[in-house]
Amino acid sequence: MINRQRPAFLLLSLALLCATALTAAPAPRPNVLFIAADDLRTDLGSYGSTEAKTPNLDALARRGVLFERAYCQQAVCNPSRASIMTGRRPDTLKVWDLRTHFRQALPEVVTLPQHFKQHGYTAIDIGKIFHNESGTKPPIPFCDPRSWSEPPLFAEGAHWQDDPTNPKAKGGAMQRLDVPDEAYFDGKIATAACEKLRVLAAKRDQPFFLAVGFWKPHLPFNAPKKYWDLYDRAKLKPPGFTRMPEGAPPIAGHPSKEVRGYGGVPEEGPLSPELIAELRHGYLAGVSFLDAQVGRVIGELDRLGLAKNTVIVFWSDHGFHLGEHDLWAKTSNYELDTRVPLLVAAPGIAGGGRAMGLVELLDVYPTLADLCGLPAAMGVEGESFAPLLRDPKRAGKPIAISQHPHPSYGKATHMGYTVRTPQLRYVEWRDLTTGALFARELYDHKADPAETVNRVNDSRYASDVKSLGGQVQEIAAASGRWPAIKAGGR
């Protein structure tokens, strides 16, 4: 017998399925957990360090993609942070120092968290995300309140805390007190971030952009004693190459004013082997202290069941020298200062990937918008590296660009532009008044990954120097600072 009711039943079922699909709630937009470190170079176990004890960041690398060749746009806090948070280069922002606010040149620029806020996200800042000092008159808050849905916490002010009982004292370069994590800013920030995650978890229908900015391993190296105790100083390696590169122009170096501004460090002259070892020990202690706080925050995200729909980004504003090249801290155009750790874990992205392609920190802004389905923001100069997340074997950018003025502090006389290719680093130093070429550098990372020899006058690299010099000329011309260069002059 033929069932004449079946076609009608199938049609009714199909209609019901269509109606259900039309009325089903759309998939929730991903949250963003945006974690920043200050002065962290790629001293992590996941990046190959044999000394750094970073189990939590190594675990994050395993659940996401590690970027081997990520570069900041200027190796000092304010310009780098302004760049990643606006997706624009320092020359566009007119920010090259610690005191200039990015809204002085571009008052209506839409920042990364502001873009998310404008598209329905709750945007929250806990810790140092933008720079923390204001040099404008009248002062413009560096934490940029318009970027956030509520007032930021722990975002401005001194962070020295050499003495937890006297947080205004800058004091010495190192401290090893047997105190709980919350005696220092980063412990307080991690606690506040965990508390905020619990509040956000109660609003599952409201996506969030939670920025958590840690201060470590920035000087002073004042992590709690238990993090110092993770390391045996006698077994730590000294800096590998302690001279400026052979043939490097003097303008490429600096007097390491930052570290010399702390008690216990001589204002000039060589540092003793004992002090060098103590400083390197203190830096690693700060790295492990930072790692523990990152672990607390991500652990809470996991405990609350939020991780499966959250993009996690971990980045540092720039790298750091620990005696290599006879330099301390940042503010150079060398690899140790411009290269940064960058880890990204996201829904639907396979864990354990290692991307070798070049990326820049200003690419983070369009990448997050891409991953979360937001429209592209106007004026952003970076480009999304989401394709590298989905396939880490893909090629990245052909070049990454960084820059830094000389001298590092005070009135600058020259600007150094550096172009990083997958193999080479090329640098041009130009007079800030005339744009005249002052000095050049070229380093071959295949032959010399420590950048020990300037090969700019080596005839074997003549074609590279010509090609990369043309790239820098275009970069300098784009700044609009030197009309002669814009017209094709050198």
Active centre residues (catalytic): 77, 131
How far, in Å, CA of 344 to CA of 168, rounded? 35
Tell me which amino acid residue 137 is. Answer: K
Q: Which long-range contacts (CB under 8 A, 24 or more apart) does 439-442 make?
A: 439/249, 439/251, 439/252, 440/249, 440/465, 440/469, 441/245, 441/248, 441/249, 441/252, 441/333, 442/468
* DSSP letter (8 states) at residue 307: G
Quickly tell me which residue has 């400083």 as its tokens: 279
Pairing of strands 353-360, 342-345: unpaired
Q: What tokens appear for 177 in the block? A: 């007190």
Does residue 418 contact residue 332 with C-beta atoms inside 8 Å? Answer: no
How far, in Å, CA of 256 to CA of 265, rounded? 11
In sequence order, what DSSP letters do the residues of 265-298 get, joined into one string? S-SSSPPPHHHHHHHHHHHHHHHHHHHHHHHHHH
Q: What tokens appear for 186 in the block? A: 């980063």
How far, in Å, CA of 127 to CA of 286, rounded? 16
Task: Establish how many alpha carbons lie within 13 A of residue 229's alpha carbon, considering only the half-sphere containing its beta carbon.
Answer: 6
Structure-derived torsion over alpha carbons of residues 302, 305, 306, 309, reported in degrees to the nearest 10: 110
Does residue 170 contact residue 156 with C-beta atoms inside 8 Å? Answer: no
Quickly tell me which residue has 């130093």 as its tokens: 429
Residue (of 105, 210, 72, 189) closest to 147 by Cα position = 210
In sequence order, what DSSP letters do the residues of 402-456 get, joined into one string? EEEEESSSSS--EEEEEEE-SSEEEEEEEETTT--EEEEEEEETTT-TT--B--T
